[in-house]
Structure 1
Amino acid sequence: MGEQKKNTIHLVKLCVGVDSLEQLEAWRAQRRRESGEATSRHVTRMWPKQEEALLNGGSLYWVIKGVIQARQRVVRLDEVIGGDGIRRCGIVLAPELIRVAPAVRRPFQGWRYLKPEDAPPDLAERREGDTDLPPELRAKLADIGIL
């Protein structure tokens, strides 16, 4: 992940309704085309109490099918008022999905903080001709130290 800044915190979030990293990439790209925005935004009910640390180089790590597979850098937090008048947090994310070493994660609701020392490392850039392993296999190989 490169050099970590001091006082940085990350978020980890289940990616509900998405079966693969490619599906998440396609969905995010479609949403950016529809909105005309260069960034992505995920709206959540809770505002991170550790906002300053999150905005100091933090990322949102996506859990897909029980495995952390990618992250997106957090750009800013926007206030979003829903049709019901309730204040929500719009987590604005850089458009790039960065693949990370797979890490198994139990189901949970909402989002959770993730300390930098507990965050999975970024994977090297994919090379032409590389094939994707199923996330479950990647996670098992990572657990035994092969990936």
Structure 2
Amino acid sequence: MPMSITLPGPAPWGFRITGGRDFGKPITVSKVTEQGKAAMGDLRPGDIIVTINGESAAEMLNVEAQNKIKQSPGQLRLQVERWVLMGHLCNVNLVIPNRPLAPQNCRCLHPKPIPLHPNPSLAPRPRRCSHPCSSHPAPPPIPGALMLPSPPGPVR
């Protein structure tokens, strides 16, 4: 489910993008300037831009997306898809949407992507990992998903 992010204008917005139809990849945030407008608006590296000011970014060339962003009058409205990494590392708590996950005494890391879901009761249910230390849950795989580390603490 896309998240809405609105940045107060005018430019500069404080982020860079990669991807586009010409690269065969979705328009994705590649860098966010610390303390910039994008960072203050909770835009993050790895966020996939779905719309720019209400216009679908799915078929945009990279330069088209850059121009739409640069030429945005006033505020910049984005809808983004965000993915978080779920897995576990011994003695480290990682999170699934809105719930901390307590790891078992295992010395492995199993990154599995899951979408950030605003309503945990509707989020995909985890399944058990097939690794020998399978005492921890893992979500169903999402083909082609972008995996990013989640922030410490519960996702809000």
Q: What TM-score do the two structures reach when normalised by structure 2?
A: 0.30
Q: What TM-score do the two structures reach when normalised by structure 1?
A: 0.31
Instruction: Work out which of the two has the higher radius of gyration on C-alpha atoms and give 1 or 2.
Output: 2
Higher RCO, 1 vs 2 (CA within 8 Å, ≥6 residues apart):
1
Greater share of helix: 1
